């Protein structure tokens, strides 16, 4: 049975979700789950929670925990990564310094100044993980959940020989949202989605085999629906296709909605609708109630809550181990899959999965307007990846300079000053620069 290494397992709530997903498949009984984190307290917490979960549900599993990454990777068949290099301290700098310059990010982990610097911090760590994998488990599949997804996946494909897929929940999550907008049961809708991570396009959206886009445009006209997803509905109104991820995320990737306060007030509403600094506040405030409940679960005061999630990770492992065919959406190397996006970039496309692994599906050309918007983000990703691989501050500056929102707000001199300040503030998280 497989050994599954979880790197960054101190992300306790998410790690617990993936552990249950894996163990909920009877065919994966007898697996080994090796939990690894650099935070001993969090590692102990997830190890005890996983053990409690296995006892409660009667799962046959071997769980071990280690602070030694190489020990976790040794002999692994699957490696799942969910790390945040620099933690909240670095993330605060990603949000707070650009804010001084008028760049009001909602999440700041994928594009923009925050996404670029998160990529600069994360890519070298992933290359180190891959170097260890090439020695200790060269045939393992690296399943990555860490943002910035496209930059990290691109760098891994460019600089290593490790098999990898980047996973997000925005495709299946958005599909469920769209079903609710048109009043359809989620199990009755089908879709074909492709593009880049956090900006993939619902090229087809159907309800019981019939085109559901007319219903979606009709739903957009209802204020109670439109108000839930203003930015994405506006982009659909003008480009004709609905985009994955939240309105808050999307508002950061385009130059239209966050450059004036009145636009932010009109389109970027509370929470993942686009409230400035929302996700950083969420990270600061949400951990305590989560951890209080986890400690009660470990103590047996309340049961460990269990429900299989819609995350793709466990389904991929199950399909490869059993040959059960499935289709997921994954982030992979663009090797002629989307023909009007750059070769070698990272694309998010449907992938078939079976006992031979992952098989990305051919898309061909995206609609021209969809590819055009994707390219504005790919430009930033490419420069950021090159900056991280070459430790080149000028390339990092250019990555931020070509960010659509930053370019809508700042002059090149102002961008240079901001980037220099971020490099100085984050120096301890950027060794070798």
Tokens of 204: 């087809």
Q: What is the pLDDT of residue 290?
A: 82
- Residues marked as catalytic: 169
Q: What is the pLDDT of residue 267?
A: 95
Q: What is the pLDDT of residue 271?
A: 66
Q: What is the pLDDT of residue 391?
A: 97
400 or 301: whose pLDDT is higher?
A: 400
272-300 pLDDT per residue, tens: 678 898 889 888 887 778 888 889 999 98
Contact 218, 233 (CB under 8 A): no
Reported as a pLDDT band with limits 50, 70 and 90, residue 54 is very high
327-350 pLDDT per residue, tens: 999 999 999 999 999 999 999 999
pTM above 0.85, yes or no: yes
94-110 pLDDT per residue, tens: 999 999 999 999 999 99
């Amino acid at each position: 049975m497989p050994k599954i290494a979880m790197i960054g397992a101190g992300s306790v709530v998410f790690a617990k979700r993936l552990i249950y997903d894996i163990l909920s498949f009877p065919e994966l009984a007898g697996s080994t789950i090796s939990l690894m984190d650099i935070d001993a307290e969090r590692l102990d917490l997830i190890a005890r929670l996983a053990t409690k979960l296995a006892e409660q549900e009667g799962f046959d599993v071997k769980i071990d925990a280690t602070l030694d990454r190489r020990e976790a990777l040794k002999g692994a068949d699957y490696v799942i990564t969910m790390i945040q290099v620099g933690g909240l301290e670095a993330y605060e700098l990603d949000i707070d310094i650009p804010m001084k310059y008028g760049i009001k990010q909602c999440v700041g982990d994928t594009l923009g100044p925050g996404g670029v610097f998160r990529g600069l911090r994360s890519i070298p760590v992933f290359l180190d993980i891959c170097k260890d994998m090439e020695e200790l488990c060269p045939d393992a599949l690296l399943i990555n959940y860490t943002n910035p997804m496209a930059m990290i996946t691109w760098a891994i494909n460019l600089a290593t020989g490790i098999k990898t897929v980047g996973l997000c929940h925005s495709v299946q999550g958005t599909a469920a949202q769209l079903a609710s907008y048109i009043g359809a049961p989620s199990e009755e809708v089908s879709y074909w989605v492709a593009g880049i991570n956090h900006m993939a396009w619902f090229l087809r959206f159907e309800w019981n085999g019939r085109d559901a886009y007319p219903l979606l445009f009709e739903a957009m006209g209802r204020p109670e629906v439109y108000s839930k997803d203003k930015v994405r509905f506006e982009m659909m109104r003008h480009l004709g296709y609905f985009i994955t991820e939240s309105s808050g995320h999307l508002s950061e990737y385009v130059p239209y909605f966050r450059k004036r306060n009145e636009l932010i007030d009109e389109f970027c509403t509370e929470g993942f609708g686009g409230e400035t600094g929302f996700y950083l506040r969420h990270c600061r405030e949400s951990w305590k109630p989560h951890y209080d409940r986890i400690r009660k679960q470990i103590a047996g005061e309340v049961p460990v809550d269990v429900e299989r999630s819609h995350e793709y990770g466990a389904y991929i492992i199950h399909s490869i181990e059993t040959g059960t065919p499935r289709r997921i959406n994954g982030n992979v190397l663009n090797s002629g899959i989307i023909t009007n996006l750059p070769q070698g970039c990272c694309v998010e496309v449907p992938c078939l999965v079976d006992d031979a692994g992952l098989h990305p599906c051919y898309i061909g050309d995206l609609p021209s307007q969809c590819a055009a918007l994707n390219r504005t983000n790919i430009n930033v990703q490419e420069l950021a990846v090159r900056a991280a691989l070459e430790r080149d501050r000028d390339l990092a500056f250019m990555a931020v300079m070509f960010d659509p929102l930053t370019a809508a707000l700042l002059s090149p001199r102002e961008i240079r000053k901001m980037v220099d300040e971020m490099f100085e503030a984050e120096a301890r998280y950027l060794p070798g620069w």
